[in-house]
Amino acid sequence: MPKVLDGAGIAAAIKAEVAEEVRELDSQGIRPGLAAVLVGHVPASAIYVRSKVHACEELGIYSELTTPQETVTTEEMLDVVAALNDRDDIDGILIQLPLPNQVDAKLLLDAVSPAKDVDGFHPVNAGKLQAGRPSLVPCTPAGVIEILRRSGIQMEGQRAVVVGRSDIVGKPAAMLLLNENATVTICHSKTRDLEAITREADILVAAIGRPGFITPGMVKPGGTIIDVGINRITDRAEFERFFAGNAKREAAFAKRGSVVIGDVHPAAFEVAGAYTPVPGGVGLLTIAMLMANTVRAAKMRRGGG
C-alpha cells in the first residue's frame, strides 16, 4: 500500500512553530501583521481569505482585510498598495486573485514591496529564488518542499519532474527542488513524449490544472506523487470516469453535486510509493506557509531574518 503523506499533520506542526515564533516576537514588543486585499464578491475568494484571517487570529498575527469595490481601478488599487507599503505595522501584503478585468494584476503585484511580498510573486523575490538565495518564497511550492522534507523523502540526487510551468507553482517548485539538489525536469502541455519523462520521476509534482491528468501509466512504480491540483467536478460522466465504485466520493457527490479532484487520476496513486491526497494534502500547507512567510517578513524587516 502506498503511504499517504499527512498534509494536515504537517500543516499543524508548521503552525505550532509559527505560533512559538510569534510569542518570541511578542516578548520583544513586535507583532507581525498581514493585510489582505479582497476585491468585489467572489465567494470562493472570500472563503479563502477568511481562512487566512482566521489562521492569523489562531496564531497571534495581526490581520486586517481591505475590500475595494468591484469597480475599483488600477490607479485606486495602486494607492491601496502604496499605503500598505508605508505602514510599519504591516509586514505582509496579500492581494487575493483573481482581480476584476479592469485591474492590471501584474502591475499591482509588482507594486507590492518585495519585503512585504508574502506570496513570493514579486520579480525581486523570484530572482532571489532562481539565484539560490530565497527570501520570501511562493507558499504552495514552499509547502511542497516541507511535505517532502518532513515526510523523510529524499530529494538530493533524485529525479524530480514538475508537470506545469506557472510562475506561481510550477517554476518555483522546480527551483526549490533544484536548490535541494534534485535533478529537475519541467514539463508542460507541449512536452513531447510526456509519459516517458514522468515515468522516470522519483518525485512527480502535478501542477498543470487539469483534473486527473496524470494516469497510472505516467507514474514510476514506487515513486512519490505530489498532487498540487484542486479541480471541482460537477459532471456525472466525469465523476464516473474518476470515482466509479468509490462509495465515500459517491455520497459526497450526491450531497453537494460536486467533488474535488487533483491533477492525478486516483488510480495512479496505487502505483506510487507515497502521495499527497486531494483534499488533505498540499492545499493545507499553503496557508501554513503564508503564516510562516508573514513572520519571516516581520523578522527580515527588522534585521532578524
pLDDT along the chain (305 residues), means of 10: 96 98 96 95 84 95 95 97 98 94 95 97 95 91 98 98 96 97 96 97 97 97 97 93 93 93 97 96 95 97 78
Sequence-distant (≥ 6) Cβ neighbours of residue 237 within 8 angstroms:
none
SS3 (DSSP) at 231:
strand
From CA 76, how far away is CA 304, in angstroms rounded?
33
Report yes or no: 291 and 18 within 8 Å, Cβ to Cβ. yes
Residues known to be catalytic: 52, 96, 119
Q: Please, which residues have CB within 8 angstroms of residue 37's CB and are 6 or more apart in sequence?
A: 65, 66, 67, 68, 77, 80, 81, 84, 93, 94, 95, 96
Q: What is the pTM of this model?
A: 0.94
Of 295, 304, 299, the closest CA to residue 34 belongs to 295
Query: Where do the domains of the chain lie, and which CATH numbers do they carry?
Result: 28-116 (3.40.50.10860), 138-285 (3.40.50.720)
Q: Give the pLDDT confidence score for residue 288 in this predicted structure.
A: 97
Distance CA 263, CA 266 (A): 9
DSSP assigned state of 225: E
Residue pair 155/289 in contact (Cβ under 8 Å)? The answer is no
Q: Give the per-residue pLDDT at 305.
A: 61
Q: What angle do helix axes 139-150 and 170-179 make, rounded to 10 degrees? A: 40
Helical packing angle, 282-301 and 139-150, nearest 10° = 110
